[in-house]
Amino acid sequence: MNTRRRVLKAGAASALALGFPAIVRAQSDKIRIGHLTPLTGFLGALGEYAVKGMRMAVEEINAKGGVMGRPLDVMSEDSVNPATASTKAQRMLDQDKVEFLMGEINSASAKTIMQVAARNKKLFLQIGARSDVLRGADCNRYTFHVDIPVTVMVNAEGQALLRDGLIKGKRIFSLTSDYLFGHDLAKAAKAFVTANGGTVIGDELTPTDTTDFSPLLLKIRQAKPDIVATNLGGNQVTNFVKQYAEFGLPYPVAGFNLNTADAWAAGEGNLSGIWPTVWHHEVDTPGSKAFVAAFRKKHGQPPENHAWIEYVSMHIMARAMSETKTTDNEKLIAYFEKQPEFDLLKPRKGYFRSWDHQLMQEAYTFTVKPKGQAKDKWDFLQFGPAVPRPDQPLELIATTQAQNTCKM
């Protein structure tokens, strides 16, 4: 695929140089899609799963003849950082002539790509970044958001903590990842805790490249909280969890963000507490089971939630193009805004809310299985019930129109 792309690119370049742009257009009956996700840095491990999930979806769709008889051609690149992400997004639109953009996990990079999308009037399916402001103050009509926003994570996690009596009257010390996502998460978490009778007694901003948490662990001990809450992201959570287990502090841990890959990397016996998630490979639907089986067959391990979300997102885009019979971005936006329901391989279907373009879907929590119950090294998480419950509306845990400042 890579060499093919290079040959195409070289061909395109030489044709352009010779002044035959018509030839280039005639050559490409493929649907080109620009896909950006972090492949290095503290979110790089998640990005690797993202690319695997995306590739699986593309292979499946192309094996069935593509979309409208045209094969999909997804170019996946490392988004590196917010500045590089927007440069690459612009380049993909200008030079690679992609039809639309997909991807991202890093909220700060998603924000800059959203600006590129709005400026160029091109669709951006923002898959994995969770910051509230992206679908709030910074929202725009060219961007749709697939992953659950931090408010949903906090509400899902918070309900579980409330149930276990870990918020009301409790003193909570939190660690927060020092970038857009962490700030947003800390804000939502603090609002939830305060509204439910808890107190945040300390909140420490932690740089994303922090590898040693020992000075912060000492501060936690000095503060003597009832609960330690983490608003960390990516690798940070793994490092924190390992070192928290190393020091063996007695306070229970609750986290508002943990991806399955970060949990897997923590190692047995290190992880504890209750955590929220958007999907887990034990979701009991035929669709999820088939996806997990296919992924296991190909990669020898269960898919992580980022593999799932990219897989589902590509299928959503494919369905949107087939049903509208076009790649025209305006028509696709109009289609999504009619709120059609999509299969997310979960018990309940989801839909994009028309006024903030956020996908409404179930969330879950998980805890850690007691020692000795794990079947293999991927199996130490105890997957919990769906939030909201099947009889409650999906909007229950999302931001309301009154809370959300999004204006398209």
Partner 1 sequence: MQFLFLLEQVLNGLVLGGYYLLIALGLSLIFSVGGVVNLAHGAFYALGAYASLEIAQRLGFGAAVALSPLAVALLGIVFERFLLRRFYTADPILPLLLTFGLALVAEQAIRMIWGAAPLPASMPQALKGSVVVGDFLFSRYRLLLLAIVAVILAGIWTLIHKTSFGRVVRAGIQRPDMVAALGIRLQPYMMTIVALGVGMAALAGALFAPIALVHPAMGAEIITVAFVVVVIGGLGSFWGVVLASMLVGVVRGVTIHFAPAAGEASMYILMFLVLMFRPRGLLGERIEKFE
- Which part of the chain contacts partner 1 (CB under 8 A), choosing from 65-73, 133-141, 144-152, 217-225? 217-225
Q: Which CB, 15 or 245, lies closer to partner 1?
A: 245
Residue 326 beta carbon to partner 1: minimum distance, rounded to whole angstroms = 36
Residue 49 beta carbon to partner 1: minimum distance, rounded to whole angstroms = 7
Q: Which CB, 207 or 385, lies closer to partner 1?
A: 207
Q: In 3D, which of 329, 292, 382 has the Cα closest to residue 53? A: 292
- Which part of the chain contacts partner 1 (CB under 8 A), choosing from 100-108, 185-193, 234-242, 290-298? 234-242
The answer to whether 314 and 58 have CB atoms below 8 angstroms apart is: yes
The answer to whether 245 and 270 have CB atoms below 8 angstroms apart is: yes
The answer to whether 79 and 36 have CB atoms below 8 angstroms apart is: yes
Q: Which CB, 43 or 92, lies closer to partner 1?
A: 43
The answer to whether 216 and 175 have CB atoms below 8 angstroms apart is: yes
Residue 408 beta carbon to partner 1: minimum distance, rounded to whole angstroms = 34
Is residue 205 within the footprint of partner 1 (CB under 8 A)? yes
Dist. CA 93–CA 106, nearest whole Å: 20
- Which part of the chain contacts partner 1 (CB under 8 A), choosing from 94-102, 199-207, 329-337, 358-366? 199-207
Is residue 218 within the footprint of partner 1 (CB under 8 A)? yes
Residue 324 beta carbon to partner 1: minimum distance, rounded to whole angstroms = 36
Q: Which CB, 263 or 360, lies closer to partner 1?
A: 263
Q: In 3D, which of 76, 78, 57 has the Cα closest to residue 310? A: 57
Residues binding partner 1: what is the number (CB under 8 A)?
Answer: 45
Is residue 305 within the footprint of partner 1 (CB under 8 A)? no
Angle among Cα 45, 56, 104 to the nearest 5 degrees reads 45
Q: Which SS3 state, helix, strand or coil, does residue 27 take?
A: helix
Residue 245 beta carbon to partner 1: minimum distance, rounded to whole angstroms = 6
- Which of 19, 69, 165, 215 forms a contact with partner 1 (CB under 8 A)? 215
Cα-Cα-Cα-Cα torsion 378, 152, 253, 197, nearest 10 degrees, comes to -160
Is residue 214 within the footprint of partner 1 (CB under 8 A)? yes
Q: Count how many residues are written for the chain.
A: 408
- Which part of the chain contacts partner 1 (CB under 8 A), choosing from 41-49, 53-61, 123-131, 154-162? 41-49
Angle among Cα 332, 118, 151 to the nearest 5 degrees reads 85
Dist. CA 271–CA 241, nearest whole Å: 6
Is residue 95 within the footprint of partner 1 (CB under 8 A)? no
- Residue 388 CB: number of other CB atoms within 10 A? 20
Dist. CA 165–CA 10, nearest whole Å: 62
Dist. CA 337–CA 352, nearest whole Å: 7
Instruction: Give the DSSP letter of residue 175.
Output: E
| 267-296 residues near partner 1, rule: CB under 8 A | 267-270
Cα-Cα-Cα-Cα torsion 384, 388, 143, 106, nearest 10 degrees, comes to -30
| 328-387 residues near partner 1, rule: CB under 8 A | 377
Q: Which CB, 94 or 209, lies closer to partner 1?
A: 209
Is residue 248 within the footprint of partner 1 (CB under 8 A)? yes
What residues line the site for partner 1 (CB under 8 A)? 39-41, 44-45, 47-49, 178, 204-207, 209-212, 214-216, 218-219, 221-222, 235, 238-239, 242-243, 245-249, 261-262, 264-270, 304, 377
